[in-house]
Amino acid sequence: MPYIEKRKIGAPSRKKEIDTRRNNKWNIFYQDKRWKRLRQWQITHNPLCYDCMFEGRSTPATQVHHLIPFGTGETMEDKFRLLLNPDNLVSLCDACHDKRHAILNHTN
């Protein structure tokens, strides 16, 4: 007899529900056309991972990281100012981006 989950079929798992809610919190920012253009500009003009280059490796950048998290802005205007500031961005590979976020989450 096959294993049957005890939760209702089609009901989202609690983790998926939390992840979806968390992602929705930032959708207004990540779906903004100005952010999408700036992100593309950043990757095009800085195509290698900054952290890897610092360590002597050449790894293609796949992520754009905010040095000062835009979520720290107190108002929507502050958040968008941090989101769209090119001086607040660095191109990173997935691994280095994950490392930076692990450090941020550990210090919070």
What pLDDT, on a 0 to 100 scale, did the predictor assign at position 108?
57
Examine residue 26 and state whether it is found in any structural domain, yes or no: no
Give the Cα-Cα-Cα angle 101, 74, 29 (nearest 5 degrees).
Answer: 60
Q: Residue 69 pLDDT > 90, yes or no?
A: yes
Looking at residue 4, what is its pLDDT? 46
39 in a structural domain: no
pLDDT for 18 beyond 80: no
Domain assignment present for 37: no
Burial status of residue 8 (CB atoms within 10 A of its CB: 0-12, 13-18, 19 or more): exposed
Is pLDDT at 55 greater than 50 in this prediction? yes
Q: Is 103 a domain residue?
A: yes
Is 17 a member of any domain? no
- Residue range 23-29: mean pLDDT, rounded: 80
Q: What is the mean pLDDT of residues 33-44?
A: 97
Higher-scoring residue by pLDDT: 96, 6: 96
- Better-scored residue on pLDDT, 67 or 107: 67
Whether residue 34 is contained in a domain is answered as no
Residue 20 and residue 56: Cα distance in Å, rounded? 37
Residue 100 counted as domain residue: yes
Number of domains, the chain? 1
Overall residue count recorded for the chain in this entry: 108
**Nearest to residue 64, comparing CAs of 33, 86, 32?**
86
**Averaged pLDDT, 69-95:** 96
Residues whose CB falls within 8 Å of the CB of residue 38, separated by 6 or more in sequence, listed in order: 64, 84, 86, 89
Residue 63 lies inside a defined structural domain of this protein: yes
Range of the domain at 93: 46-108
Q: Which has the higher per-residue pLDDT, 24 or 34? A: 34
Query: What mean pLDDT is reported for the chain?
Result: 84
